Amino acid sequence: MSSMFGQFGLSAAGNERPLGRIRVVQILLIAVFVVYAIRLFDMQIISGERYLRRSYNIARRVTVLPARRGEIYDRNFSDPLAMNYDSFAVYITPAEVPDGEIPDLILRAAELLKIPGRRIEEKIPPQYYYLYQPLEIASNVPFDTIAVLAENADTLPGLSWQSKPIRNYGDVRSLSHILGYVGNITRDELMQLYNQGYQQGDVIGKMGIEREYDEILRGREGMETRTVDVRGRRISRGENNIREAPVMGKNLVLTIDKSIQLLSEKALGSRMGAVVAMKPNGEILAMVSYPWYDPNLFNRSDMGAEYAALINDPNKPFLNRAIQSAYPPASTFKILMTTGLLTENLINPELRILCSGGMDYGQRLWRCWARGGHGWVNLQQALAVSCDIYFWVAGRDNMGVDRIVSYAKDFGYGALTGIDLPGEIEGFIPNPQWKERRFHERWLGGDTMNMSIGQGFTLTTPLQITNLVATVINDGIGYKPHVLKEIRDPVSGAIEKTVQPEVIHNMQEKVSARVFETVRANMRTVVTQGSARYPDNIRAVELAGKTGTAEIGLPDRWHCWFTAYGPYNTDNHDEQVIVTVLVEASNPWDWWSPYAAAIIFQGIFANQTYEEALVSLGLQNFAPALGRRE
């Protein structure tokens, strides 16, 4: 009996254990169900709106809407120099292309776009295959090509296109160095500018005004967000689609007068060199550098060969010779010397020095440019006829190298003017300490003599010489040259900012107004009695200026300078214009700079075209044969 009860007790216990386990499982299942129910209730009812918004974000595609760049005008705000026209850009989003199909897609796209496949491959290297960001593979694509792409859209996964404004510069010719051009941002540029809001695929200014004022011109990109299905097709046009319109960049009005620019361009002709026309307050009216280039080249997808030719051109068409090349200033430096000699009372201006055509110094014969000599000349006469011997003696025996260097720095030589164009160089003013460090040689009297007539190691830019003349006109005040005049609203045209003159050097405490008046009078005699009396003593306007011929070690050619201003007989600086012309020694020698300046002044003050000015000056049969490069 006991054994039976024992057996029964074991059996009862064994039955209780499974029942307990079942209850535990039931409780767990109920708990899990309750948790899931609560979670589903939270997701669908309490947090449903939040998850709905998140689902839209996951299924949304964001498209950047490029902003139109601001337009650029000349000073009269009537003739746009840089505009926009509508075009298309084509993109590939690598992550949307099925695995292994990118190479085939590139070949197919290259065939339809009629561009080399390697150009697309360079823009989509293998390390970019995982990106969901659209990568631009072609720009300036015509509508006919876009139509073909649309017809083949089903066979081009990951390929898309959108409208993208393209820059158009018209026939700007010599304005190319001022305007510059735009292009797609490079990797190096992106690394430098990323923190300023620039992104992959942005179009940025590369040179000139386009680069200097890129942040003002570029505007603000827009954005379109739309809901799509797994194939990227739009599935909704309701409130879940968001569009933020792009904002056009500001319009810029330059100080450039297009008519004076064209006049200066034609006056220089096809001679390598530069022209700067500027008002005494620093406003640049014209800036020409020859040779130039066509900025519209960078809008073409097939520019490779032409761009390579420009890069390899020994004449360097991308170089703005007005601010990016430095030359010996030659006898234009004598304006500075005259100012220093008069200010320091280092020489009696009426003292006459004999110029017999040559002088012995340092065991060599120093020859004046006039081999027959100028006879006995005083300071005014020496500047008028540009006598080298007078300034050799005055510079070596009276002024000295330290004073010459000091006045050169006061006038801004050896320093940037700060013009609002990229790439300006400083030029160079030597001194005894520099020569000892550079050549391990002592500064000699002959070095001072060379420096006194703007030769030797001294280098300056055409813009710096123009600014020197402006400082003389302004009684010692030098203003920062600039090419931007105004910033305007692109819609209303209202002026938002006007550039004001900015003083960059002031010599009034050092040099009196009376000295500058004497210097200007002496510069006037250069035109009425001296080296420029034949080409520049014109009827349209009274001029004052200085010629210059810079030796470069060749027996048959030199750099040819002329800088002048007019009208001479006025105290109203608003009426005055300074013109500096440089013709490089790489051209056949024709002493053209004074004649080019005469044409420019005639055109400005007689309101004549280049052709009309030639006739008025009697140069119509003379100019075409001078220094023309075929």
* Token pair of 448 as six digits: 């001072």
Q: Residue 8 — pLDDT band, cuts 50, 70, 90?
A: very low
Final residue before a domain boundary, out of 164, 182, 217: 164
Element (H, E) at 226: strand 222-227
Same domain for 221 and 99: no
58 within some domain: no
The CATH number of whichever domain residue 394 belongs to comes to 3.40.710.10
51 within some domain: no
| Cα separation, 419 vs 434, whole angstroms | 27
B/e letters for 91-102, b = 16+ CB within 10 Å, e = fewer, are bbbbebbeeeeb
Q: Residue 473 — pLDDT band, cuts 50, 70, 90?
A: very high
Same domain for 91 and 80: no
3-state secondary structure 119-144: HHHHHCCHHHCCCCCCEEEEEEECHH
pLDDT in tens, 100-139: 889 999 999 999 998 888 889 888 988 888 887 788 888 8
310 within some domain: no
Would the pLDDT of 505 be above 90? yes
pLDDT in tens, 335-379: 999 999 999 999 999 999 999 999 999 989 999 999 999 999 999
Lowest-confidence segment of 23-27, 435-439, 512-516 by average pLDDT: 23-27
Distances (CA, A) of 371 to 359, 365, 471: 11, 12, 33
Same domain for 16 and 130: no
Final residue before a domain boundary, out of 122, 139, 164: 164
Percent of the chain with pLDDT over 90: 63
| Cα separation, 499 vs 184, whole angstroms | 29
| Cα separation, 375 vs 120, whole angstroms | 73
Q: What pLDDT score does 627 carry? A: 38
Lowest-confidence segment of 10-24, 159-173, 184-198, 381-395 by average pLDDT: 10-24
B/e letters for 595-620, b = 16+ CB within 10 Å, e = fewer, are bbbbbbbbbbbeebebeebbebbebe
Give, rounded to a whole angstrom, the gap between the first and last alpha carbons of the chain: 135
The answer to whether the beta carbons of residues 266 and 286 sit under 8 Å apart is no
Tell me which amino acid residue 563 is: T
Same domain for 148 and 16: no
Q: What pLDDT score does 301 carry? A: 65
If one counts the domains in the chain, the total is 4
pLDDT in tens, 272-286: 999 999 999 999 999
Q: Residue 235 — pLDDT band, cuts 50, 70, 90?
A: low
Final residue before a domain boundary, out of 99, 131, 164: 164
Would the pLDDT of 236 be above 80? no
Same domain for 409 and 383: yes
535 within some domain: yes
Same domain for 328 and 466: yes
Give the mean model confidence (pLDDT) for residues 36-46: 73
Show the domain range for 39. Answer: 2-46
Would the pLDDT of 630 be above 50? no
Would the pLDDT of 572 be above 60? yes
Give the mean model confidence (pLDDT) for residues 449-453: 97
Would the pLDDT of 54 be above 60? no
Distances (CA, A) of 127 to 43, 190, 371, 408, 562: 38, 18, 71, 55, 57
| Cα separation, 434 vs 312, whole angstroms | 34
Task: Give me the residue label for tokens 């072609």.
Answer: 138
Give the mean model confidence (pLDDT) for residues 301-309: 81
* Token pair of 445 as six digits: 């009297």
181 within some domain: yes
Same domain for 334 and 195: no
Give the mean model confidence (pLDDT) for residues 404-415: 97
Element (H, E) at 80: strand 80-85
Q: Indicate if the alpha-carbon torsion angle 207, 213, 214, 217 is positive or negative.
A: negative
| Average confidence score pLDDT of the chain | 89
Q: What pLDDT score does 239 carry? A: 55
Q: Residue 389 — pLDDT band, cuts 50, 70, 90?
A: very high
The answer to whether the beta carbons of residues 316 and 183 sit under 8 Å apart is no
551 within some domain: yes
pLDDT in tens, 67-94: 889 999 999 998 899 999 888 889 998 8
193 within some domain: yes
What are φ and ψ of residue 579, in 5° steps? -130, 130
* Token pair of 329 as six digits: 């200033």
The CATH number of whichever domain residue 118 belongs to comes to 3.90.1310.10
Same domain for 80 and 187: yes
Same domain for 404 and 526: yes
Q: What pLDDT score does 237 carry? A: 54
Q: Residue 629 — pLDDT band, cuts 50, 70, 90?
A: very low
63 within some domain: no
Distances (CA, A) of 98 to 94, 104, 129, 176: 9, 11, 10, 45
Same domain for 489 and 564: yes
| Cα separation, 432 vs 405, whole angstroms | 10
Check residues 560 and 554 and name the one with the higher pLDDT. 560
| Cα separation, 205 vs 215, whole angstroms | 9
Same domain for 239 and 206: yes
Q: What pLDDT score does 506 carry? A: 97
Same domain for 287 and 360: yes
